[in-house]
Amino acid sequence: MKKRQSGLNLRMLFFVLLFSGIFPSGPLVMADETEALKKEVETLKKQVNDLGGRLDKAEIHTATDKLSLGYELKTTAWSIHQDDALMAPSALVNGFFVNYDGTPFGGFNGATLNQFQTALANMAMGGMIPPAEKYDADNDILYTSRFRMNLKSKVNDNLNFMGRLSAYKVWGDSTGVNFNHGSMSDVSLDGTTASVPRGDTVHLERAYMNYKNEIGAVPYNFSLGRRPSTEGPPLEYGVNALEGGSPFGAVINWQFDGASLNFDLEDVTGVPGASFKLCYGVGFESDYGNSGSMSSNPQVEDVHLMGFISELYNNDMTSLGLMYAYAPGLTDGFAGTTVMPFIVSKADMNRDGLSEYYFEPNSGGYISRMEPSENIGDWQAASLLLRTSLEKLSGTHLFLSSSWSNTNPSKVSEMPFYEMMGMGLLSSNGDLETHDGYSVYTGCQIPMPGSGKLGLEYNWGSKYWFNFTGAEDSLAGSKLAARGQVFETYYHQPVVGDHFFLTAGGRYYDYDYTGSGNPLGAPVKISDVMSTDALFPVTDTVWDIYLSATMKF
- Give the pLDDT confidence of 26-45 residue by residue, as tens digits: 444 455 666 777 777 777 76
209, part of any domain: yes
Per-residue pLDDT at 369: 92
Per-residue pLDDT at 32: 64
35 and 141 belong to one structural domain:
no
Quick one: CA torsion of 20, 22, 23, 25, rounded to 10 degrees? Answer: 60
Per-residue pLDDT at 64: 56
109 and 220 belong to one structural domain:
no
297, part of any domain: no
**Where is the domain boundary, 348, 370, 392?**
370
Per-residue pLDDT at 100: 58
Per-residue pLDDT at 21: 47
82 and 96 belong to one structural domain:
no
387, part of any domain: yes
Chain segment 283-328, per-residue pLDDT in tens: 999 999 998 888 877 789 999 999 999 999 999 899 999 999 999 9
pTM of the entire predicted model: 0.87
Asked whether the beta carbons of 260 and 476 are under 8 A apart, the reply is no
96 and 206 belong to one structural domain:
no
13, part of any domain: yes
Is 535 strand, coil or helix?
coil
Q: Identify the H or E element spanning 309.
A: strand 303-314
Q: Is the pLDDT of residue 500 over 70?
A: yes
What pLDDT band is residue 63 in, cutting at 50, 70 and 90? low
Angle at 258 between CA 202 and CA 160, to 5 degrees: 75
Q: How many domains are there within the chain?
A: 3
What pLDDT band is residue 101 in, cutting at 50, 70 and 90? low
458 and 511 belong to one structural domain:
yes
Q: Is the pLDDT of residue 241 over 60?
A: yes
454 and 516 belong to one structural domain:
yes
483, part of any domain: yes
Per-residue pLDDT at 552: 95
169, part of any domain: yes
123, part of any domain: no
Single-letter amino acid, residue 39: K
Residue 353, number of CB atoms within 10 A of its CB = 6
506 and 363 belong to one structural domain:
no
320 and 344 belong to one structural domain:
no
Per-residue pLDDT at 295: 80
Per-residue pLDDT at 350: 86
Q: How far apart are CA 318 and CA 77, in angstroms?
A: 35
Chain segment 200-239, per-residue pLDDT in tens: 999 999 999 999 999 999 999 999 999 999 999 999 999 9
| Of 153 and 107, the one with more pLDDT | 153
122, part of any domain: no
Single-letter amino acid, residue 189: L
240 and 107 belong to one structural domain:
no
Q: Is the pLDDT of residue 386 over 60?
A: yes
105 and 219 belong to one structural domain:
no
Q: What are the helix (H) ranges across 307-370? A: none
Residue 17, number of CB atoms within 10 A of its CB = 12
What pLDDT band is residue 145 in, cutting at 50, 70 and 90? very high
Percent of all residues in the chain with a pLDDT value above 70, rounded to a whole number? 88
Asked whether the beta carbons of 81 and 151 are under 8 A apart, the reply is no
Q: Which residues lie below 8 Å from residue 245, measured CB to CB, with a gap of 6+? A: 227, 228, 229, 230, 231, 232, 253
**Where is the domain boundary, 347, 370, 393?**
370
Q: What is the mean pLDDT of the chain?
A: 89
Residue 39 burial by Cβ neighbours in a 10 Å radius (0-12, 13-18, 19+) = exposed
Q: How far apart are CA 69 and CA 144, in angstroms?
A: 23
363 and 377 belong to one structural domain:
no
Q: What is the CA radius of gyration of the chain?
A: 30
**Where is the domain boundary, 370, 395, 429?**
370
Q: CATH no. for residue 496? A: 2.40.160.10
Chain segment 409-454, per-residue pLDDT in tens: 999 999 998 998 899 999 999 999 999 999 999 999 999 999 999 9
- Write out the residue range of the structural domain in which residue 540 sits: 67-89+130-289+303-335+371-552
What pLDDT band is residue 408 in, cutting at 50, 70 and 90? very high
347 and 423 belong to one structural domain:
no
